[in-house]
Amino acid sequence: MKTSAVLSVVGLALTLSTAHAADMRAQIGQKKISMCIGCHGIPGYRTAFPEVYSVPKLGGQHAAYIVAALKAYKSGERDHADMRSIANSLSDRDMEEIAAYYAKAK
């Protein structure tokens, strides 16, 4: 078998493996979103604390963006008392799994 054919097969296997891993993370993440859906699961929801604002939709966001936002809340770089409290309760792995779920959600 030619080297290019072998590399193509290996590349396809890695792509399928990566896709499967992302699906598994999303399935695990779905079990961890109970603290999110109270606000982010209501279409058009607006909150009044600490000020009136529209709660952002998470479904379809890029996973890396969600992880970065959660880490910013956890570090205090982003300021929101409720989100900081939630982010502080999450491990990096929790964040990645929740983000994987929302990246696949509509």
Mean pLDDT of 50-63: 90
* Helical packing angle, 92-104 and 3-30, nearest 10°: 100
Average pLDDT, the chain: 86
| Structure-derived torsion over alpha carbons of residues 89, 91, 93, 94, reported in degrees to the nearest 10 | 0
Reported as a single tens digit per residue, the pLDDT across 59-98 is: 999 999 999 999 999 999 999 999 999 999 999 999 999 9
pTM for the model: 0.78
* 4 against 72, higher pLDDT: 72
* 98 against 50, higher pLDDT: 98
CATH architecture assignment, domain 3-104: Orthogonal Bundle (1.10)
Mean pLDDT of 24-33: 92
Nearest to 36 by CA among 78, 91, 90: 90
